[in-house]
Every structure is written in structure tokens, then in C-alpha cells.
Amino acid sequence: MALDHAILVSLTERAASGYDLARRFDASIGYFWPASHQQIYKVLARMQEAGWVESTLQEQDGRPDKKTYAITPAGEAELDRWAAQPTEREALRSDFAVKLRAFRDAEALLADTRARRAAHAERLAEYEASEARFYPDPSALEGPDLGSWLALRGGILGERQGIAWCDEILTALEGRGSR
């Protein structure tokens, strides 16, 4: 019941087709809530049945027809209801942490950690570029823009934390085993 709200939030910003949403979820919102197009179509159909969104068919030439979804008053009400209740703590499920605890293959762990560090650094660079481009003056932000920036800040802090963890692991492993 959580992809529902991510889609509704996206639709408040602009009406969109399933295809459009899938592309949006490859960036922006998708950083915090990844979703495949199949999943999105499924949820859109369910939400239409519930009356939270409505669709209009648009014919296009040269391209397949398009179903554009817009949020309804009932959908807005649902968003309000959702926004008012507290978020439950999301449980972290880290395959990597379990692998650390297992400590079966120091070489593989080392290679894995280096790869993860690189992935974090890459993602961090994207986030920081976004911040510089879209939020040059954070103190001036208000409303949804402020929220988006704060969400992005969470991403930035998360990636930095990931890098710091990897560095601790690398220091510990390189300082001991293979030298």
C-alpha cells in the first residue's frame, strides 16, 4: 500500500500515463521508491477501481494510444489521510551486513566492499549534482520544494554514510589480512 502513495504524490505534481510514471520512477521518486512498469500498471488499475485516479484515453499518431491518469478528490483525501498518520520505521534488510557477519571469504568481501564504495560514490555524485542544479539556495525553499530538497538531503547523507562504512571495512580488512 505504499507504491500507491508514491504514485499519487507524483500525480499531484502532474497527470501522467503509466509509461511516464515508469520513467519518473527511474529517477527522482524512484530513488526512494523503485518500481517497475508492470508494478505501476497494476497499481494504477487498482487505484482506478478504488476511485483514487481517473484516466482519459489519448490517441496519438505514429505512437500507441496513451492512458493519462489524474488524481481525483478521493485520491487527494487518501493522500491527506496517509500524510497525517505516522510513518512506521522501515526495517533495514542488508544482505551485505549478513555477509559481513558470516565472514566466509575475505577476498570476496574486499572486492564486494570496493564495488559498493564505488556505487555509493557514483550515486552521491548524482545527488550532489542535482542539489547544486535544482536547489542552489536552500534557505529560500518552501512547501513541496522544501520537502523534495530534504528528501534529497537524506539521499546524500545516506550515500556518505555508505562510503564511510565501506572505508571502515576496507581499513580493517586491508590492515589485517593481505598485506
Partner DNA sequence: GATATGTATGAACCTCGTTGCATATGGGCC
Partner DNA sequence: GGCCCATATGCAACGAGGTTCATACATATC
Residue 34: Cβ within 10 Å count: 12
Using the rule CB under 8 A, is 116 a contact of its own copies?
yes
Please, which of residues 151-170 interact with its own copies by CB under 8 A? 151, 153-155, 157-158, 160-161, 164-165, 168-169
Phi, psi of 151 (to 5 degrees): -65, -45
Q: How far is the CB of 57 from DNA (least distance, A)?
A: 8
What's the distance, CA 80 to chain centroid?
Answer: 21
- Check: CB of residue 164 under 8 Å from CB of residue 124: no
- Check: CB of residue 169 under 8 Å from CB of residue 113: yes
Please, which of residues 45-84 interact with its own copies by CB under 8 A? 79-80, 82-84
Q: How far is the CB of 26 from its own copies (least distance, A)?
A: 12
Using the rule CB under 8 A, is 118 a contact of its own copies?
no
Place of cell 496517509: 82
Interface residue with its own copies among 19, 33, 41, 135 (CB under 8 A) is 33
Q: Is 86 left (phi over 0), alpha (psi -120 to 50) or beta?
A: beta
Using the rule CB under 8 A, is 172 a contact of its own copies?
yes
Q: What is the DSSP string of 121-155?
A: HHHHHHHHHHHHHH-S-GGG--HHHHHHHHHHHHH
- For DNA, give the closer residue by CB, 36 or 161: 36
Chain positions contacting its own copies, by CB under 8 A: 2, 5-6, 9, 12, 29, 31-34, 79-80, 82-105, 108-109, 111-112, 115-116, 119, 138, 141-144, 146-148, 150-151, 153-155, 157-158, 160-161, 164-165, 168-169, 172, 176
